[in-house]
Amino acid sequence: MSLIELKDLSKEYTYGESSTYALKNVNLKIYGGDMIAIMGPSGAGKSTLLNILGCLDKHSSGTYILKGKNINDFSKKELSKIRNREIGFIFQNFALIPEYTVGENLELPLLYKNNFSIKKDKLNKEQRMKLIEKALKNVLISNLIDKKPSYLSGGQQQRVAIARALIANPDIILADEPTGALDQKTGQEIMNLLKEINKQGKTIIIVTHDSNIASYCDKTINVIDGIVKN
Ligand SMILES: Nc1ncnc2c1ncn2[C@@H]1O[C@H](COP(=O)(O)OP(=O)(O)O)[C@@H](O)[C@H]1O
Ligand SMILES: [Mg+2]
């Protein structure tokens, strides 16, 4: 069974009288363990597709099935829970909270997860610290736990963001231009890390307009003017 299935999915934006399709009749299947690149020119609909896959945005028509369940049937609260449990996000600009240390940035998804958990499943401080240490070790920056993001290089900040995406142990990692703000060598290091995480069993979907980045993936999906070709 596919992990993700889109059937005739469209996203329409309306501006007063007129409207435009950011995505049109997308049909797509993604399987557990896939590492997929989404490529296409600027304005093609890549981010729209990724945001819909991540339940950050809702489609206008068609069907999105995630792990056998129709997303249309979920309330806003249930969608928040799915985002927290099933999906980790990585952005081009890292999106770390500047006032928080690395450790505190990583603790946030765990505190958020506690909100959705029944009492016996809530993680206490010690359990949270263990998970934070493990996540930082996995991305090779254990020594940076008490530093604030501004102290770190771009590559180190993206490692923190990757650790944050993984900490609640989601099956799916979505990355929008994860190397877009990094130099080429650092970008390659980040892609090697994502490849390693894919080998650990995570399904990874990466938006990029760089074919070198796409070459780390097993499959490329092309988006042009809202039409997906795969
Ligand atoms: N919130 C929005 N409101 C209106 N139009 C939008 C919005 N987000 C994206 N669009 C439009 O949808 C199309 C696809 O955008 P996007 O998914 O951001 O493209 P990409 O990530 O491939 O550059 C563009 O024409 C863009 O202007
Ligand atoms: Mg985009």
Each of the 230 residues of the chain gets a pLDDT tens digit; together they read: 899 999 999 999 998 899 999 999 999 999 999 999 999 999 999 999 999 999 999 999 999 999 999 999 999 999 998 998 999 999 999 999 999 999 999 999 999 999 888 999 999 999 999 999 999 999 999 999 999 999 999 999 999 999 999 999 999 999 999 999 999 999 999 999 999 999 999 999 999 989 999 999 999 999 999 999 87
CATH architecture of 34-57+75-229: 3-Layer(aba) Sandwich (3.40)
Q: How far is the CA of 228 from the centre of ligand 1 (A)?
A: 15
CA 173/CA 202 separation, integer angstroms: 7
Using most ligand atoms within 8 A of CB, pick from 14, 21, 24, 48 the residue to mutate for ligand 1: 48
CB of 42 within 6 A of ligand 1: the answer is: yes
pLDDT score for 155: 96
Q: Identify residues whose C-beta is under 5 A from ligand 2, the ion.
A: 47
Residue 110: exposure state from Cβ atoms within 10 A (0-12, 13-18, ≥19): buried
Using a 6 Å cutoff on CB, does residue 14 contact ligand 1? Answer: no
Q: Which of 13, 42, 57, 91 to probe ligand 1 with, by most ligand atoms within 8 A of CB?
A: 13
Mutational pocket test of ligand 1: of 15, 38, 47, 208, the residue with most ligand atoms within 8 Å of the beta carbon: 47
Pairwise CA distance, residues 155 & 143, whole Å: 15
pLDDT of residue 1: 85
Which ligand 1 atom is nearest residue 226's CA?
14
> Both tokens of residue 194?
């994502």
Confidence (pLDDT) at 116: 87
Does any ligand 1 atom lie closer than 6 A to the CB of residue 62?
Answer: no
Q: Distance of alpha carbon 180 from its chain centroid, rounded?
A: 15
Q: Where are the domains of the chain?
A: 34-57+75-229
Coil, helix or strand at residue 79: helix
